[in-house]
Amino acid sequence: MDSYEITANAKLNLFLRVRGILPNGYHSLYSVMQEIDLADTLTVNIYPERKNGFDIKCIGRNDIDPEKNLCRKARDRFFSSLRKKASTDPSVPNAKLWKKGNFPNIEIVLTKVIPSESGMGGGSSDAAATLMVLQEHFGNPFTDEELNQLAVNVGADVPFFLYGGTCLCESVGEEIRQLESLSGIPLLIVKPSKGVSTPECFHAIDSKPLPEFDEKRYEEYMDVLSSADKEPLDRFLEGKDLLTNDLEMPSVESVPEIAEAIDALISTGAKFSRMTGSGSAVFAMYDDYFARDSAYEKIKADPKFAGFDVFVSKTI
């Protein structure tokens, strides 16, 4: 048996714009994604002596159907792509074996911290971690470009987690531009007990005209983010009027507690607060850790937020 342990960090959409629907039916997005230190942990055990099995065990959260877990989809897509590549490229390590579909048994023990239906990419991060383990174990059979394409076929957010840090993600999510790091910003995250269904959220926004998108201004802002002249939070807030999330309004209609959480976080002295992804988690940025920790105590003591998940975190 070969065993691997890997951390799968969550992400935030620092802003998210929807630019339309692509010919393949997916939405075209424009978003800066940011890796944070809140994370799941995976132990991946690979048993060469057993063939073609898969088992996943989740610890910590019980709201994930093992049959729908994106780690399973990542494993299936990886093996399918490896079998196809091994059939045409004899330079792939152990090509003769893989083209016959004789793959080892995979067992994953997943310790969940990132909540589901939060817009924090927990399932996508777990899937990316699975792909990275398999890529290493099987001798790096795929190029970076091939692995990126494999990842987007697992889920729209999965390619970002192959990069991490601070990235501009476009199209479905596979067009990625790495930006100057925004690491070290203190964060407070509030996740209402009710989640938001991503498909339902996108369906709701499709029924309304898309908000205006000023491409030139966003490109100028990307240049600001890519400079290292100022502290990360100051650079980020240079484009404060651009930092909208087009999915926030339909998500608030479904979960009004999202708006209540944003208002409460702003009242604690946060410099910025926004919903991430399709929600329902809300994040807030602070000048320093003392201000963040004081805000944490206020939110935890507020009976309005009983039953909510509240996390202290930071950008990485």
Q: Rounded CA gap, 175 and 69, in Å?
A: 24
Active site residue 85: no
In one-letter notation, the amino acid at residue 162 is L
**3-state SS, residue 24:** coil
Instruction: Say how far apart CA 46 and CA 4 lie, in whole Å.
Output: 8
Of 11, 99, 112, 191, catalytic: 11
Residue 277: C-alpha distances to residues 14, 125, 156 (Å): 9, 14, 12
28-37 burial string, b = 16+ CB within 10 Å, else e?
ebbbbbbbbe
Q: What are phi and psi of 74, to 5 degrees?
A: -65, -45
Q: Which is the catalytic residue, given 40, 126, 157, 246?
A: 157
Residue 188: exposed, middle, or buried by beta-carbon count in 10 A (0-12, 13-18, 19+)?
buried
> Is 40 one of the annotated active-site residues of the chain?
no
Query: How many Cα neighbours within 13 Å face the side chain of 13?
Result: 30
Query: Strand 282-285 vs strand 272-275: parallel, antiparallel, or unpaired?
Result: antiparallel
Q: C-alpha 259: how far from its chain's center?
A: 22
Q: What count of residues does the chain have?
A: 316
Residues with a catalytic annotation lie at: 11, 157
